Structure 1
């Protein structure tokens, strides 16, 4: 049995579909399907029932998935120990961050890191879900909340203020603003929860799952978007609107697993992120 095939099966068991597992593993859908088929052939049992939009574990699949959790944790621990054992300022460091933060606040600053540490290569992933640092899905994670996950070291970098932004030509009284917000499935996000409580009878003209799409729509003149400073300030077409309301800030946290935080290349990138993003 190939360990990578089995790890793929565990990802499918946790994610509930081939496509979701593929996103977690950073591979394509066909690779996941192929590895599951290979594992089933090697073991001589059927592990999953393939449905239209999801997969369902067979009874044998459920038993093998339960047995695999401690094995996966042990393998992840070995991989972290090996990853953190290097003593050079060279190699790959994987950073996971919210998409708009990765695009607007981090990517434009990476040249300075490259100039300082030319032998460190960065892998930057913009993702809304939390990368599992215990499983090595990233080395460093930037998040707008602090997960309470054992084994992780967390450092608060700063408070990120939110403001109302609209196109420079937007001349509508606050009581009549029309808003651009997130989809309903994001209503539990702190800034979305707060905004919905303030809307009253005012209209939502666009709902989008992507903060950058919201910013682009606001810049076009469609309406008012509640955006973090790094996203709204970066677009010259947008202006901050004066409001009687004060949106609450979000906390920006940097997370790293204790097993790898002392690796020189990881420490160097952490120090860079602190100097660049903390204020």
Structure 2
């Protein structure tokens, strides 16, 4: 059977460069994640494109994103990454242990699959998971990782951070509730008459750049009265789905509810960020693998 000559030219380092740029969507950030300079990263991407015969990335909204039609290349690269880790096995520094992880409950649906898949590659590890809505103190409470809805802006010397992705927000309401408002007050009354559900902050967020702490209904053009305050997004969505009023929700969360309708899509102007925070050095194979797997999964939130 004749061998594809491009396979002989394949280079795993170039594939790693491809995956790094896909995850970071920025040459400088991708180069830093690989601990190489930007020019070296560009050469690796160009070399891979020369082997394949087409461009892999395009510039879009100040980010480098996959070129149309390259999804199969991405899937093959991800499979190659997992197969490579399985081939070389668990390194001496990755013999296992307990990973203490803080994940807000609203994200468990997304990231539980990642943690299950991670354990297939590193079965010696055990996860100890907290789904508390507050921002845990990693050092004081002994957590290894935390997924947060905000970028830490203090204590930067003692922790490592990695942006996992972004997701859009919108104003949502149950379709039945919206119909009731229109019937009572007219189709233009939603912004004035609808009752509101607020995401309350029951913990300090001043050490973080936290978009949910700055949300203002009036800035979005809604002037109803706040009737319910919840300290987590899942509870806000539940009350909203049951017809208690309008809520500002991540699009991916609202789309889980079949009766939920978008009243105002704020994605163009209002984006929230998702961050991985770690008190570990993020240099071990298993730490890098976990961070990369979480990054890939986070991309799904952007298009939900």
Q: Tell me the TM-score normalised to structure 2 length.
A: 0.54
Residue in structure 1 matched with residue 111 of structure 2 by the alignment: 106
Are 2:237 and 1:215 equivalent residues in the alignment? yes
Identify unmatched segments of 5+ residues in structure 2.
1-90, 182-187
Aligned-pair CA distance for 1:224: 0.9
Are 2:161 and 1:154 equivalent residues in the alignment? yes
Are 2:210 and 1:193 equivalent residues in the alignment? no
- Provide the secondary structure at the position in 2 that maps to 1:231: helix
Q: Is the 8 A contact 1:165 1:224 kept in 2?
A: yes
Distance of aligned partners of 1:185 and 1:91 in 2 relative to their CA distance in 1, 3 Å threshold: closer
Aligned-pair CA distance for 1:127: 2.4
Aligned partner (choices 143, 146, 158) of residue 148 of structure 2: 143
Aligned-pair CA distance for 1:225: 0.8
Residue in structure 2 matched with residue 45 of structure 1 by the alignment: none
Aligned partner (choices 175, 191, 196) of residue 179 of structure 1: 196
Distance of aligned partners of 1:97 and 1:196 in 2 relative to their CA distance in 1, 3 Å threshold: same
Q: Is the 8 A contact 1:168 1:237 kept in 2?
A: yes
Q: CA RMSD in A?
A: 3.1
Distance of aligned partners of 1:229 and 1:244 in 2 relative to their CA distance in 1, 3 Å threshold: closer
Q: Is the 8 A contact 2:101 2:145 kept in 1?
A: yes
Q: Is the 8 A contact 2:166 2:274 kept in 1?
A: yes
1:277 and 1:245 mapped to 2: Cα distance? 16
Are 2:101 and 1:92 equivalent residues in the alignment? no
Distance of aligned partners of 1:276 and 1:196 in 2 relative to their CA distance in 1, 3 Å threshold: same
Aligned-pair CA distance for 1:219: 0.7
1:210 and 1:141 mapped to 2: Cα distance? 16
- Provide the secondary structure at the position in 2 that maps to 1:156: strand
- Provide the secondary structure at the position in 2 that maps to 1:225: strand
- Provide the secondary structure at the position in 1 that maps to 2:120: helix
Distance of aligned partners of 1:186 and 1:124 in 2 relative to their CA distance in 1, 3 Å threshold: closer
2:241 and 2:110 mapped to 1: Cα distance? 18
Residue in structure 2 matched with residue 262 of structure 1 by the alignment: 283
Aligned-pair CA distance for 1:98: 2.6
- For 1:210-236, what per-residue CA distance to the aligned partner results, in whole angstroms no more than 9, with x for missing partners? 321111111111211111123212222
